[in-house]
């Protein structure tokens, strides 16, 4: 009886000890984003980057002596699914979350997390996510939408264009970019005149009338705020009417589908887009590593997601825990971390410093990165 009792106590104590020990074995971090659905390609690109960074860090012994484990929740890039995905991650007590994939979903997830999660996005680019300052523990490694406007304006000034037309698709994204470009140009005109500032209806059967207007106003350059499908129709109809106006678009135009659709009319069209980060040696090694796990391409956000994870883990390692967000934030904003996407440091709002947009020109049916000035 006594023997049995002591055995029982021993067993119990073992179980009790094993419990917390097992929980401390891994550091769980969350991923929220589009894993399924129409925008899954974007979400998975983020996910691949995280897998790479976590694989690297686990091979070196993990973070704070623990192996890192990724908990994934799908939100399909939909704001309503994002809040339930966020609730699930939050209820598991996770402190670090990477994501979400799309700006709208990120916004609704942030309202669920509040200040109880430190989140780093690597593909949500909408300006106000960081600009409104409502979420002190939100960071992102992609440059936000408005960072591309100065690049476009600099090109216009550099080429000495005097007559600028600005068109947008009346959507949130396109209109915001168009207005920023207008503001930038009007603040310091240097002889540049905005001859046209208008919205067009997305999906219209013909943009002939707008093209006539462009021709009549004698615009030398057209700044487009919107996505590639309307832009390709505009480009086709402009070139069809013999209009040689230079077209500059945002990253919504920086998409191979634009070239496929606009065909010969795409030649010479310019677009700002994310920098090509795949050139460095460690980036190439990361791609090779990715190929051992997946047959899919790395996608556009691989390096941003990997960089996000590496920067956060470095800060957590210095702080010594995952709960003191103020201390982690201090490290993220003060120290520069060398990552696979290059040096990473954030400003006080949570935006990455020193990752500009590049300007691409379509030459011979391909986007060619123009040298950065």
Residue 32's region, left for phi above 0, alpha for psi from -120 to 50, else beta, is: beta
Instruction: State which of positions 197-226 bind other proteins (CB under 8 A).
Output: 198-201, 203-206, 208-213, 215-216
Instruction: Give the x-and-dash track for 19-58 against other proteins (CB under 8 A).
Output: -------------------x--------------------
Closest to other proteins by CB, 88 vs 170, is 170
Nearest approach in angstroms of CB 247 to other proteins is 16
- Answer yes or no: are the C-beta atoms of 195 and 165 closer than 8 Å: yes
Binding mask 130-169 for other proteins (x = CB under 8 A): ----------------------------------------
Cβ within 8 Å of residue 136, ≥6 positions away: 115, 325, 329, 350
Q: Interacting stretch for other proteins, rule CB under 8 A, among 78-86, 120-128, 227-235, 340-348?
A: 227-235
Kindly indicate which of the ranges 258-266, 283-291, 297-305, 365-373 contains the residues binding other proteins, using the contact rule CB under 8 A: 258-266
- Binding segment for other proteins (CB under 8 A), chosen from 113-121, 233-241, 316-324, 329-337, is 233-241
Joined together, the tokens standing for residue 34 give 């589009």
Determine how many CB atoms are found less than 10 A away from the CB of residue 237: 19
Element (H, E) at 74: strand 67-74
What is the smallest separation between the CB atom of 240 and other proteins, expressed in angstroms? 6
Can you read off the two tokens belonging to residue 1?
A: 């009886």
- 77 contacts other proteins (rule: CB under 8 A): no
CB of 217 within 8 A of CB of 163?
Answer: yes
Contact 202, 172 (CB under 8 A): no
* Ramachandran bin of 330, using left for φ above 0, alpha for ψ from -120 to 50, beta for the remaining angles: alpha
Question: Which of 230/251 has CB closer to other proteins?
Answer: 230
Residues near 312 by Cβ (< 8 Å), separated by ≥ 6?
A: 96, 98, 118, 120, 328, 332
Nearer to other proteins by Cβ, of 200 and 271: the residue is 200
Q: Find the binding residues for other proteins in span 278-307 (CB under 8 A).
A: none
Which residues would be at the binding site for other proteins (CB under 8 A)? 38, 170, 198-201, 203-206, 208-213, 215-216, 229, 232-233, 236, 240-241, 257, 260-261, 263
């Amino acid at each position: 009886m006594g023997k049995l009792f002591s055995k029982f106590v021993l067993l119990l104590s073992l179980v009790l000890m094993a419990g917390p020990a097992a929980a401390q074995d891994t550091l769980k971090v969350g991923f929220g984003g589009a894993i399924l659905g129409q925008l899954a390609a974007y979400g998975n690109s983020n996910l691949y980057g995280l897998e790479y960074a976590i694989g690297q860090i686990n091979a070196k012994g993990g973070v704070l002596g623990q192996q890192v484990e990724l908990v994934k929740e799908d939100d399909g890039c939909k704001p309503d699914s994002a809040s339930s995905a966020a609730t699930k991650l939050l209820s598991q007590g996770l402190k670090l979350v990477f994501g979400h994939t799309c700006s709208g979903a990120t916004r609704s997830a942030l309202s669920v997390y509040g200040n109880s999660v430190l989140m780093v996005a690597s593909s949500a680019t909408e300006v106000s996510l960081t600009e409104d300052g409502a979420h002190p523990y939100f960071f992102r490694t992609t440059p936000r939408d408005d960072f591309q406007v100065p690049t476009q304006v600099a090109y216009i000034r550099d080429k000495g264009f005097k007559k600028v037309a600005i068109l947008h698709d009346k959507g949130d994204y396109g209109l915001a970019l168009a207005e920023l470009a207008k503001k930038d140009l009007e603040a310091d005109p240097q002889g540049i005149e905005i001859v046209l500032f208008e919205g067009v209806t997305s999906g219209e059967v013909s943009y002939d009338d707008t093209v006539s207007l462009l021709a009549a106003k004698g615009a030398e350059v057209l700044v487009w705020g919107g996505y590639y499908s309307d832009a390709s129709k505009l480009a086709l109809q402009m070139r069809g009417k013999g209009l040689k106006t230079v077209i500059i678009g945002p990253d919504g135009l920086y998409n191979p589908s634009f070239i496929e659709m606009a065909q010969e009319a795409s030649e010479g069209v310019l677009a700002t887009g994310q920098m090509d980060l795949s050139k460095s040696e460690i980036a190439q090694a990361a791609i090779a590593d990715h190929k051992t796990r997946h047959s899919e391409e790395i996608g556009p956000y691989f390096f941003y997601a990997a960089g996000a994870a590496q920067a956060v883990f470095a800060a957590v390692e210095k702080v010594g825990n995952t709960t003191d967000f103020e201390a982690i934030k201090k490290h993220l904003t003060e120290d520069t971390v060398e990552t696979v996407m290059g040096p990473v440091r954030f400003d006080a709002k949570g935006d990455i410093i020193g990752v500009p947009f590049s300007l691409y020109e379509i030459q011979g049916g391909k986007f060619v990165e123009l040298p950065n000035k």
